[in-house]
Amino acid sequence: MDINELLTYLFTPIAQVALIMALAELVKRVGLDKRFIPLVDLALGILSGVVIYTIYKGMHPIEGVLIGIALGLSACGLFSGVKNVTEKIKED
């Protein structure tokens, strides 16, 4: 495994999670109710997983969907964690 392949495997999911979070925030600001954002994260994650891992990298579609679910749930959890920490800091 060369360094480019290693970087691709390490940074691509991180970038995907950040992109999913940004797109979900955009959808929220357009007017979608906040309680549907986890579903948006999940849908964007699945879409990202299928496009990147199934179409681009040639993996099996089920693998792309499972990776996408992990990406969407990661984006949702990361957003929730950051939100909880910032709210706690504001209280103190």
Rounded Cα–Cα distance for residues 39 and 12 (Å): 22
Would the pTM count as exceeding 0.85?
Answer: no
Lowest mean pLDDT: which of 8-12, 14-18, 27-31?
8-12
Give the residue numbers spanning the domain of 71: 36-80
Q: Does position 17 have pLDDT exceeding 80, yes or no?
A: yes
Alpha helices in the chain (DSSP H): 3-30, 37-49, 61-91
In a domain, 30, yes or no: no
CA neighbours closer than 13 Å in the CB half-sphere of residue 11? 6
Q: Which amino acid is at 80?
A: S
Percent of the chain with pLDDT over 90: 52
How many domains does the structure of the chain reveal?
Answer: 1
pLDDT class for 7, splitting at 50, 70, 90? Answer: low
Give CA torsion, residues 84, 89, 91, 92, to 10 deg: 140
In a domain, 10, yes or no: no
In a domain, 63, yes or no: yes
In a domain, 91, yes or no: no
3 state DSSP class of 70: helix
Round the average pLDDT of the chain to a whole number and report it: 88
